[in-house]
Structure 1
Amino acid sequence: MFAFLKRFGLDPFILSLFGAIFLAWLAPSWGAEHENWSPAEVAGWGVGVIFFFYGLRLSGEKLKAGLQNVRLHTVVQLTTFVLFPLLVLAVMALVDTRANHYLWLGIFFMATLPSTVSSSVVMVSMAGGNVPAAIFNASVSSLIGVFVTPLWMSLFLAADEGAHSLGEAIAGLVFQVLVPVGAGMLLHRRWGAFAERHRRWLNLFDQAVIIAIVYTSFCESFEMHMFDTVSWPLLAALTAGMTALFFAVYGIVLAVSRRMRFNREDRIVALFCGSKKSLVHGTVMSKVLVADHTLTGILLLPIMIYHAMQLVVVGIIARRMSAGT
């Protein structure tokens, strides 16, 4: 069934995400907070397991192998954490963001997120790029994001919008991201081979947790009518904007890579790791940064659209590169 969908360019994970949003729209009370139990809290426990297994698969030797190319790493990390936010800030300075304040907040949140891990490495490998450098950059991006994303978001998130303090946000992300990753890395020698053998099932678990978090987030947002101002034309404009942002970043990174005379393998890493944003980190960080969980659905909307678009577009580019066209 999954192979059949992929033949037509339909990713089952993306379809499941939008299916979860549709279900949240139909019956928001199912996934909203309840007196005796919280579906969001149950999904939240799965996040720690995701990052633990990620650390379990993360080899110190692979990280060391990708460490040497400082110029490449600098380009990727500056693209992820500086270029993206500055481009969005430039657009925000030119338009009136008051009418759709939370949607613009979600767009900026997407721009501050770290790069993806697994899909970046897979796409770089498919296109014939420098895989050790991709592993290094994707991993380091995840760690840097724990500190840089809250710093960027502190510019806009106010206490009256249910925001945690900067210290609370960073501490929460350290507990939810860095501690499980560190624990997994400590056990890599003992259990790393097991995690690699069962990578497919662990990836399915990752996706199930993300779908659960997206579902509960949108249930809470629909329950509080947070999407009442998001019309279909606005949704189409958001999709066009996310696509334009991707190609703007891709074009800038391509020009910089050529200017710095990166070889083909390193240029692929810069393009793919630099232009991608992590939905996994988005779902985790939205819960930690914002105490008012009714806002998380609308905060996640831009990264969901960007994530779906980047999988399709980068997949096409990677296949063309692998074919030598």
Structure 2
Amino acid sequence: MGISSKLAAAKLDGFVLGIVAAAVLASIFPVSGTAENVLTWVTKISVALLFLLYGARLSPTEALEGVKHWRLHSVVLASTYILFPLIGLALRILAPTVLTDDLYTGVLYLCLVPSTIQSSIAFTSIARGNVAGAVVSASLSNILGVFVTPLLVILLMNTSGQATVGVSAVGDILLQLLVPFVVGQLLRPLVADWLSRHSAPTKIVDRGSILLIVYSAFSASMNEHVWSSESVWHIVAVVVVCAGLLAVILAVTALIGRWLKFDRADRIVILFCGSKKSLASGLPMASVLFAGQPVGLIVLPLLIFHQIQLIVCAVLAGRYERQEVA
């Protein structure tokens, strides 16, 4: 695989353009009334199907074997669910001057979601890191995120005066995300081989559900006129804050890996898995946790952070690979 192919993730691919198109289309043609209700249910079904497929694809045996490397996974999870939230809370000083309250809520929310799975593993592989460790760390982050993220949202956002999330939202998360995941695990013996041979259905559901969520979120935002209060400078500020947040996390995870004397392969896992935030998990959770609130604005920082992390981490992965070859 050539360097140009390995850095392809840094470009605006069709999926990223699709996300932008869904947001623009929803802003121009928002749905309402019966159409909005239909869209809501279609989105919920697609999200449930997405987590069912996640459950069917994850091997319990491989997960249990990988969990034995507890020291590595503990560092990744600490970065995802301790370091990120602490920085998110510290960024409260930016509201309401640099960031509006809704945009700050979005920044704090992105700090609470799980790590990515696909891109973390892909970049670890390119950088010649511990791929098995990345698989388990990223998977553990997402499985625990079904419980941890809603609880962190309730604890940190309700107590800090941000978006209000009730305990009932945890029940909604369990019903819409965890139950389908468990069903997928139960169905795994029947469908795992077929899914390994046919990646197209999973990709369609994976990306299609995210596009539906983006369209639904931005459509609701237009109906609620939430964008009329936001200036271009506030949006630019979100981009700068997301870029700065990623830079800090990358620096800290790199230093921690060296300080704790992990080998090169494990340091790469900490760097890539510990610095990522999942769009695939974060958007479905936001659609449940922030129902009836300006979801479009709340998920905007996550959308921006996701694209920045792809670009930066693709470049870093290529650099690590060249260092290993040299």
TM-score (norm. length: structure 2): 0.90
Secondary structure at 2:189 match in 1: helix
| Higher mean displacement: 253-262 or 55-64 | 55-64
Percent identical:
34
Which amino acid in structure 1 is aligned with residue 265 of structure 2? E
How many angstroms apart in 2 are the aligned matches of 1:36 and 1:204?
22
Secondary structure at 2:169 match in 1: helix
Alignment-derived partner of residue 16 in structure 1: 18
1:106 to 2:116 alignment: no
| Higher mean displacement: 75-84 or 60-69 | 60-69
Which amino acid in structure 1 is aligned with residue 317 of structure 2? A
How many angstroms apart in 2 are the aligned matches of 1:200 and 1:233?
40
Which amino acid in structure 2 is aligned with residue 324 of structure 1? Q
Alignment-derived partner of residue 180 in structure 1: 180
Which amino acid in structure 2 is aligned with residue 156 of structure 1? M
How many angstroms apart in 1 are the aligned matches of 2:218 and 2:208?
15
Distance 1:229 1:256, change over 3 A: same
Distance 1:245 1:36, change over 3 A: closer
Distance 1:150 1:59, change over 3 A: same
Deviations 1:232-265 (A, max 9, x none): 2211111011011011011001001000111111
Distance 1:14 1:249, change over 3 A: same
**8 Å Cα contact 1:114/1:278 also seen in 2:** yes
Which amino acid in structure 2 is aligned with residue 311 of structure 1? L
Alignment-derived partner of residue 42 in structure 1: 42
Q: Where does 1:15-94 land on structure 2 (aligned, <5 Å)?
A: 15-28=17-30, 30=31, 32-34=32-34, 37-92=37-92, 94=93
**8 Å Cα contact 1:115/1:141 also seen in 2:** yes
How many angstroms apart in 1 are the aligned matches of 2:269 and 2:28?
41
Which amino acid in structure 2 is aligned with residue 115 of structure 1? S
Deviations 1:34-55 (A, max 9, x none): 2784212211100111111111
C-alpha deviation, 1:9, in angstroms: 1.9
Alignment-derived partner of residue 202 in structure 1: 202
Distance 1:162 1:197, change over 3 A: same
Secondary structure at 1:262 match in 2: coil
How many angstroms apart in 2 are the aligned matches of 1:75 and 1:301?
28
Secondary structure at 1:323 match in 2: helix
| Higher mean displacement: 225-234 or 295-304 | 225-234
Distance 1:67 1:217, change over 3 A: same
Alignment-derived partner of residue 95 in structure 1: 94
**8 Å Cα contact 1:163/1:291 also seen in 2:** no
Which amino acid in structure 2 is aligned with residue 16 of structure 1? G
How many angstroms apart in 2 are the aligned matches of 1:145 and 1:18?
26
How many angstroms apart in 2 are the aligned matches of 1:136 and 1:147?
17
Alignment-derived partner of residue 276 in structure 1: 276
**8 Å Cα contact 1:63/1:132 also seen in 2:** no
How many angstroms apart in 2 are the aligned matches of 1:295 and 1:38?
19
Distance 1:33 1:306, change over 3 A: farther
Distance 1:58 1:96, change over 3 A: closer
Alignment-derived partner of residue 146 in structure 1: 146
TM-score (norm. length: structure 1): 0.90
Aligned residues: 316
Alignment-derived partner of residue 301 in structure 1: 300
Alignment-derived partner of residue 126 in structure 1: 126
How many angstroms apart in 1 are the aligned matches of 2:59 and 2:214?
30
Aligned-residue Cα RMSD (Å) equals 2.2
How many angstroms apart in 1 are the aligned matches of 2:144 and 2:10?
36
**8 Å Cα contact 2:23/2:215 also seen in 1:** yes
Secondary structure at 1:228 match in 2: helix
Which amino acid in structure 2 is aligned with residue 274 of structure 1? G
How many angstroms apart in 1 are the aligned matches of 2:48 and 2:35?
24
Deviations 1:101-151 (A, max 9, x none): 111111101100011112211221222111221111111111221222222
Secondary structure at 2:180 match in 1: helix
Distance 1:162 1:104, change over 3 A: closer
**8 Å Cα contact 1:33/1:39 also seen in 2:** no
**8 Å Cα contact 2:224/2:294 also seen in 1:** no
Q: Give the gaps of 5 or more residues in structure 2.
A: none
How many angstroms apart in 1 are the aligned matches of 2:66 and 2:33?
44
Alignment-derived partner of residue 248 in structure 2: 248
**8 Å Cα contact 1:121/1:131 also seen in 2:** yes
Distance 1:46 1:7, change over 3 A: closer
Which amino acid in structure 1 is aligned with residue 321 of structure 2? S
**8 Å Cα contact 1:33/1:40 also seen in 2:** no
Secondary structure at 2:227 match in 1: coil
Q: Give the gaps of 5 or more residues in structure 1.
A: none
Alignment-derived partner of residue 287 in structure 1: 287
**8 Å Cα contact 2:55/2:181 also seen in 1:** yes
